[in-house]
Amino acid sequence: MSSTLNVVTSQEYKYGFVTDIEADSVAPGLNEDVIRFISAKKGEPDWLLEFRLKAYRHWLTMTEPDWAKVAYPKPDFQKIVYYSAPRPKKPQYASMDEVDPELRRTFEKLGVPIHEQEALAGVAVDVVFDSVSVTTTYREKLATVGIIFCSFSEAVKSHPDLVKQYLGSVVPSSDNFYAALNSAVFTDGSFVYIPKGVACPMDLSTYFRINNKESGQFERTLIVAEEGASVSYLEGCTAPQFDTNQLHAAVVELVALDRASIKYSTVQNWYAGDKDGVGGIFNFVTKRGLCKGKGSHISWTQVETGSAITWKYPSCVLLGDDSIGEFYSVALTNHKQQADTGTKMIHIGRNTKSTIISKGISAGDSSNSYRGLVKVQPKAEGARNFSQCDSMLIGQSCSASTFPYIEVQNRSARVEHEATTSKIGEEQLLYFQQRGIPAEEAISMIINGFCKDVFRELPMEFAVEATKLLSLKLEGSVG
Amino acid sequence: MTTMVAGPNLLADLLSGPRPTEWASLREAAELRLAGRELPATREEDWKYTDLKALAGLAFGPAPKATVDISSHLLPEMVGTRQVFVNGHHAPHASCASAVPAGVRYFPMSHASEACHALGSIGNGVAKGLFEDLNTARFQDGAVILVPKNLKVALPLHLLFITKAETPIAVFPRVLVLLERGAELELVEEHHGEGAYLSCPVVEVHVAEGAILRHERVQRESPEAYHLGTLKAEVGKGGQYHSRTLSFGARLSRQQPWVRLAEGAEASLDGLVLLDGAQVADTHSFLHHAEPQASSHQLHKCIVDGKARAIFNGQIRVAPGAQGTDAQQQSRNLLLSETARVDTKPQLEIYADDVKCSHGAAVGQLDPEELFYLQSRGMNADDARNLLTYGFAADVLTHIPVASLRRALRQLVMARTQATSLGDLG
């Protein structure tokens, strides 16, 4: 870029504070005793302990995947704290006012609407702090229409049959290295159940935060939408600034039955490390939705701006006839960040449709890859896919890659993939500047235009946040 | 196929014969790299979709010299410019290079002096493929073509590799093409055969500054053959390399072109694959934009019928600093039967920001609206389908400069797409 556009110093990570809360932790390391400890601590039934141990024993036989286009020091799994819970001052909270004030201040800094009275209209929040779900708002109101929205641990206690029926049904515990690890040690997460015919009256939201320096976060989310049900679910993530790497290995499972619809939106802003690549979160996440019923619909929307390393492929298994899978993604990398992200669309049922829109923006010394699979199985008569993967490069030392796998075994399928690469042109910037719009703002507008196909899929408050986040993240990278 | 017996290790078997005395050090180095290696398995990313298990169980003997009738392969534009190789050996009586202009060196490798040090050096610094090394270790013969500075060769040169296998044999054709600065050449390379055999050709190309090579490649191996080919091309500053690979034959084939572009160079790497029965055809291409301002264009089309499988893996790498790169890649696939299969993976790896790169992939069947349109003009359903299938293939053939070859290939494609009843579309 031309020297007439000045390099502005990069803005620091805004969410990098540490909350000093006494935490109830287990010593670092992983063995069957740690798993038994976690399970006992959470008062789990035997079948769940067995599920964990089985996953752990399988995990021991697996090796860490190395096919992604990311390079990082492999985590030492014996140095990670597998259980860290904010220690309550009192065993139970009578009201929100009794929650540790430090913790409340944390969420105020994050801007999480934890107080019910201050909550953004119509957003019910489950907050997961390190490993444990701290509070869930609006649950009574949701319960009146039969919706279950609670922490995963609670669901295990109050709705064990539902959890047992669906846990691991989309992402088996042996699915991959990180999913197996998660299955062994997950500590909490969110559980959502929408009964038959119910359209969830408000967006549901979870806020994840890693606070402990040595802790890993292994949350588990399970969303089940019964016949004709629908729900929109939002997920946000931040972490404090440490100069060590923390591991985040979550598993998200979605199940949509006949004509059910699940929309899952994420704004991921885990700490990405500093500009030299020191510290930051390793985000190794398995997200998969099963369109089990006829005419079911699962839509993933993600805005990935954080994490030192991202390894994430939210997928749809289109099993039911006429089911629809969608993936809308913006992935932004700057400095030394590395992202290898994309989706898988597995067409099994007849007349299944999928859409993939992926926008990758790389700046600084970062590496940004789209990796996707569109698979049409022999019985998937009339399957249809459209994929578009665009990359934008800002600066000369970043990279952008596209690895789309297309496997078609049915001739009536129609699969199309397009990818382009572009940059922000001098001429575009000049045009904006001629009209009195400063370069930084112009860049932000161009990027927003580049990403608009994805942003318009986001719920309103997330779209606003995502737009701000992108310009914030790119400050200083465009010279 | 019943004559084949399972060998303990195909690679070891193929290398068990004595090492030819010419090019000994080159061959020895290749053998060292091959030591302890096995045929690639599908768990390797590069061979994920192409299973060589069936090949691994076979045994191929040494290729004997043979004579064949080449009259059906002759092309009128190329009288007096052909070198013919039968079962990997040069066939002097079938060859005739009398019309080749003075200054052009065009002879079998067995006549070349070992001082031809460019052999085996194209793409140095890049890991050699297993079948490339196998060829280097055991190639029987091949062609050397040297075109001196600024010489523009008017007549196309014709290389014919014919394999006649009464019992299963292995052939390793080798070609080295060197174009000096400003030279221009048109080259037609054909592979034909009958019987069961393994062919592992290696073609090395060096196009110096401002030189232009047009390279037509036709693979019409026997339906029982395995064809595992390597092409390596380095294109100098402002040079041009245009290749078109037409894959019709072989039970299993793999084309592995690798092209490196220097500043301002141009390349096109087109392909047409026509498959039926249980054929498998794999194209793994690598286009390396190593320097600024180079452009590349790739159009790869597959028509797959029966239980056949087509695989495409097209990688484009834009190196750091290769600003001004223009790279366009298209993978288009037509499935004609219930059981046909296509696996395609166009890949972009970009390390420079001022570039224009795009790729596209599409898999599908004929457009029902186009079929309907032709039928509304009075064409019956079969003819409409065949015409559209032919049309899909034909656009790769349009720009073949050698008229008789273009015509012959069009006839072939028409026959394969049952479009012959439509009259002469050529």
User: How many A×B Cβ pairs under 8 Å?
Assistant: 108
**Amino acid identity, position B103:** G
pLDDT score, position A118: 40
The verdict on B171 touching A (C-beta cutoff 8 Å) is: no
Q: Per the CB < 8 Å rule, is A406 touching B347? A: no
User: Is residue B1, in this structure, part of any structural domain at all?
Assistant: no
Beta bridge partners of B295: B266, B326
pLDDT at A120 over 50: no
Residue A209: pLDDT band by 50, 70, 90 thresholds? low
Residue B317 shares a structural domain with residue B422: no
User: Is residue B417, in this structure, part of any structural domain at all?
Assistant: yes
Cα–Cα distance, A71 to A53 (Å, whole number): 30
Cα–Cα distance, A4 to A205 (Å, whole number): 43
Q: Do A342 and A311 form a contact (C-beta atoms < 8 A)?
A: no
Burial of A69 (0-12, 13-18, 19+ CB in 10 A): middle
The segments of chain B whose pLDDT lies below 70 read: 1-8, 114-115, 421, 423-426
Q: At what angle do helices A32-41 and A46-60 cross, to 10 degrees?
A: 150
pLDDT at A3 over 60: no
User: A372: nearest CA in chain B?
Assistant: B345
Q: Per the CB < 8 Å rule, is A404 touching B353? A: no
Cα–Cα distance, A195 to A184 (Å, whole number): 29
Look up the domain containing B421 and give its range. Answer: 366-426
pLDDT at A10 over 80: no
Q: What share of chain B is helix, strand, coil (3-state, %, to 5)?
A: 20, 40, 40
Q: Please list the alpha-helical segments (H only) found in B105-241.
A: 130-138
A391, A395, A409 ranked by CB distance to B341: nearest: A409
CB atoms within 10 A of CB B397: 20
User: Is residue B79, in this structure, part of any structural domain at all?
Assistant: yes
Residue A138: pLDDT band by 50, 70, 90 thresholds? confident
pLDDT score, position A296: 98
Chain A closest-CA separation from residue B315 CA (Å): 9
User: Is residue B10, in this structure, part of any structural domain at all?
Assistant: no
Tell me which DSSP letter residue B182 carries: T
User: A375: nearest CA in chain B?
Assistant: B343
Q: What's the CA dihedral at B386, B364, B243, B293 to 10 degrees? A: 140
Residue B349 shares a structural domain with residue B426: no
pLDDT at A29 over 90: no
**Amino acid identity, position B352:** A
Cβ neighbours of B356 in A, within 8 Å: 421-422
Report how many helices (DSSP H) and strands (DSSP E) chain A contains, helices first: 10, 24
Cα–Cα distance, B380 to A381 (Å, whole number): 25
pLDDT score, position A175: 94
Chain A closest-CA separation from residue B46 CA (Å): 12
Q: Per the CB < 8 Å rule, is B348 touching A398? A: no
Q: Per the CB < 8 Å rule, is A419 touching B346? A: yes
User: Is residue A132, in this structure, part of any structural domain at all?
Assistant: yes
Cβ neighbours of B333 in A, within 8 Å: 408
E strand intervals along A377-413: 384-394, 399-408
Q: Per the CB < 8 Å rule, is A399 touching B353? A: no
pLDDT at A88 over 80: no
Residue A335: closest CA among A367, A364, A305: A364
Q: Do A117 and A35 form a contact (C-beta atoms < 8 A)?
A: no
E strand intervals along B129-276: 142-147, 157-164, 169-171, 174-179, 184-194, 197-199, 202-207, 212-220, 226-235, 240-247, 252-261, 266-275
Residue B328 shares a structural domain with residue B412: no
A395, A410, A420 ranked by CB distance to B353: nearest: A395
Domain edge (last residue) among B342, B365, B388:
B365
User: Is residue B421, in this structure, part of any structural domain at all?
Assistant: yes
Q: Which of A133-142, A172-181, A221-230, B194-203 has the lowest mean pLDDT?
A: A133-142
The verdict on B45 touching A (C-beta cutoff 8 Å) is: yes
Cα–Cα distance, A360 to A391 (Å, whole number): 5
Domain edge (last residue) among B350, B365, B380:
B365
Using a CB cutoff of 8 Å and minimum separation of 24, what contacts does A85-93 make? A85/A23, A85/A24, A85/A25, A85/A129, A85/A130, A85/A131, A85/A132, A85/A187, A86/A21, A86/A22, A86/A23, A86/A24, A86/A129, A86/A130, A86/A132, A86/A134, A86/A211, A87/A21, A87/A22, A87/A23, A87/A24, A93/A135
Q: Do B278 and B251 form a contact (C-beta atoms < 8 A)?
A: yes
User: Is residue A18, in this structure, part of any structural domain at all?
Assistant: no
Q: Which two tokens stand for residue A452?
A: 């608009």
User: Is residue A228, in this structure, part of any structural domain at all?
Assistant: yes
Residue B274 shares a structural domain with residue B409: no
- Chain B interface, best mutation among A66, A69, A394, A405, by max B CB count within 10 A: A405
Q: Do B344 and A406 form a contact (C-beta atoms < 8 A)?
A: yes
Tell me which DSSP letter residue A349 carries: S
Q: Which two tokens stand for residue A451?
A: 């990403």
Q: At what angle do helices A426-434 and A439-455 cross, to 10 degrees?
A: 110
A391, A395, A403 ranked by CB distance to B350: nearest: A391
Residue B373 shares a structural domain with residue B329: no
User: Is residue B151, in this structure, part of any structural domain at all?
Assistant: yes
Chain A closest-CA separation from residue B100 CA (Å): 45
Q: Per the CB < 8 Å rule, is A419 touching B348? A: yes
- Which of A125-134, A154-163, A201-210, A389-398 is predicted most confidently? A154-163
Distances from the Cα of B363 to the Cα of A344, B20, B44, B312, B413, angstroms: 17, 46, 24, 12, 20
**Amino acid identity, position A293:** G
A401, A409, A412 ranked by CB distance to B349: nearest: A401
With a CB cutoff of 8 Å and minimum separation 6, the contacts of A20 are A102
| Domains of chain A: total | 1
Residue B351 shares a structural domain with residue B241: yes
Chain B closest-CA separation from residue A370 CA (Å): 10
User: Is residue B412, in this structure, part of any structural domain at all?
Assistant: yes
Residue B82 shares a structural domain with residue B175: yes
Q: Per the CB < 8 Å rule, is A419 touching B360? A: yes
Residue B206 shares a structural domain with residue B183: yes
pLDDT score, position A116: 39
Cα–Cα distance, B335 to A18 (Å, whole number): 57
Residue B155 shares a structural domain with residue B134: yes
pLDDT score, position A7: 36
| Domains of chain B: total | 2
pLDDT tens digits, residue range A358-408? 999 998 899 999 999 999 999 999 999 999 999 999 888 899 999 999 999
Cα–Cα distance, A32 to A49 (Å, whole number): 10
Residue A157: pLDDT band by 50, 70, 90 thresholds? very high
Residue B128 shares a structural domain with residue B221: yes
Cβ neighbours of B346 in A, within 8 Å: 402, 404, 417, 419
User: Is residue A83, in this structure, part of any structural domain at all?
Assistant: yes
User: Is residue A17, in this structure, part of any structural domain at all?
Assistant: no
Burial of B181 (0-12, 13-18, 19+ CB in 10 A): middle
Q: What is the ipTM of this complex?
A: 0.86
- Chain A interface, best mutation among B348, B349, B385, by max A CB count within 10 A: B348
Beta bridge partners of A139: none
Average pLDDT over chain A, rounded to an integer: 83
Cβ neighbours of B305 in A, within 8 Å: none
Residue B373: closest CA among B395, B388, B392: B388
**Cα B397 versus chain centre, distance:** 15
Q: Which two tokens stand for residue A146?
A: 């039969």
Chain A closest-CA separation from residue B415 CA (Å): 22
Q: Please list the alpha-helical segments (H only) found in A187-258.
A: none
Residue B122: closest CA among B236, B257, B234: B234
Q: What's the CA dihedral at B68, B73, B79, B84 to 10 degrees? A: -40
User: Is residue B163, in this structure, part of any structural domain at all?
Assistant: yes
Element of type H or E holding B331: strand B326-335
**Number of residues assigned to chain B:** 426
The verdict on A423 touching B (C-beta cutoff 8 Å) is: yes
Q: Per the CB < 8 Å rule, is B356 touching A421? A: yes
User: Is residue A11, in this structure, part of any structural domain at all?
Assistant: no
pLDDT at A96 over 60: no
Look up the domain containing A156 and give its range. Answer: 23-474
Q: Which two tokens stand for residue A268?
A: 């991921």
Residue B424 shares a structural domain with residue B312: no
pLDDT score, position A238: 62
Domain edge (last residue) among B365, B387, B410:
B365
Mean pLDDT of A318-347: 95
3-class secondary structure, B391: helix
Cβ neighbours of B348 in A, within 8 Å: 391, 400-402, 419, 421
**Cα B204 versus chain centre, distance:** 12
User: Is residue A386, in this structure, part of any structural domain at all?
Assistant: yes
Residue B240: closest CA among B181, B283, B292, B284: B181
pLDDT tens digits, residue range A422-463? 888 788 889 999 999 988 888 888 888 899 899 888 877 677
The verdict on B307 touching A (C-beta cutoff 8 Å) is: no
The verdict on A402 touching B (C-beta cutoff 8 Å) is: yes
Tell me which DSSP letter residue B366 carries: -
Cα–Cα distance, B251 to B380 (Å, whole number): 33
Residue A309: pLDDT band by 50, 70, 90 thresholds? very high
User: Is residue A469, in this structure, part of any structural domain at all?
Assistant: yes
Residue B249 shares a structural domain with residue B179: yes
